[in-house]
Amino acid sequence: MMLRIPQVLTPEQVRRCRQLLDAADWSDGRATAGHLAAQVKHNRQLGDDQPAAREIGELVLQALGRHPLFVSAALPLKVLPPRFNRYEGGGHYGPHVDAAVFSVPGTPHRIRSDLSATLFFSEPHEYEGGELTVQDHFGPHSAKLAAGDLVLYPGTSLHHVTPVTRGVRLAAFFWVQSLVRDDSQRSLMFELDTAIQQLARDTPGHPALDRLTGVYHNLLRQWANT
């Protein structure tokens, strides 16, 4: 499932992030890539120790925790602190699959990458190219979203970023270990939760709400990996 999650950040938060990112010290993105990924990765990245990375990362994590659509779709157990990249002058990232497990910087902990996420800081009209293209069983799907919006997709997906031929594309990227590891099960949970919420809005007090909510939590109890 590839899902757009709108307005993770407010316009004011996006402006603050842009100020920090525009003034930041960027380095070659290949430094953080594995052997194969380094051959197709052509962008710049913000070091994890940069003050801007820490400030924006904390802001993003707090915003994610407050966003009901993200929580419903991802069922997050752990979220890797966001990283930040910059594409310009033909920069791109060729087809690749993200690593299965990531270490949390400065800790002994690791996160399984059930879900990948990209949060956009640049508006689509500010640059040409730069589409995130994700391949699934039904073919390729592209995303180039408004600043403050996020795209969420399975970490198992083959994906790439097309060359940025004009302007600058700024984004955060990170990974989520979900309570529900299996993507098909997680998608069913999301569909069920969405239907329950719609029924609650359209028909408050409907007797089926309690039963459906019980089914949701019993499925979560059965499928959750903690």
At 207, which CATH number?
4.10.860
Binding residues for Fe cation: 96, 98, 159
At 18, which CATH number?
2.60.120.620
Q: How far apart are CA 146 and CA 119, in angstroms?
A: 9
Residue 210 structural domain:
183-223
- Per-residue CA distances from 22 to 18, 86, 140, 158, 187 (Å): 6, 10, 31, 30, 37
Binding residues for 2-oxoglutarate: 169
Token code pair at residue 187: 């998608």
What's the pLDDT at 12? 98
Q: How far apart are CA 159 and CA 162, in angstroms?
A: 10
Say yes or no: 60 and 97 in one domain.
yes
Say yes or no: 193 and 217 in one domain.
yes
- pTM of structure: 0.94
Q: How far apart are CA 142 and CA 3, in angstroms?
A: 11
Say yes or no: 51 and 158 in one domain.
yes
Q: How far apart are CA 100 and CA 97, in angstroms?
A: 9
- For residue 31, what pLDDT band results from cuts at 50, 70 and 90? confident
Say yes or no: 162 and 109 in one domain.
yes
Q: How far apart are CA 73 and CA 191, in angstroms?
A: 9
Say yes or no: 97 and 22 in one domain.
yes
Number of domains, the chain: 2
Mean pLDDT of the chain: 95
Binding residues: 96, 98, 159, 169
pLDDT in tens, 76-101: 999 999 999 999 999 999 999 999 99
Say yes or no: 60 and 76 in one domain.
yes
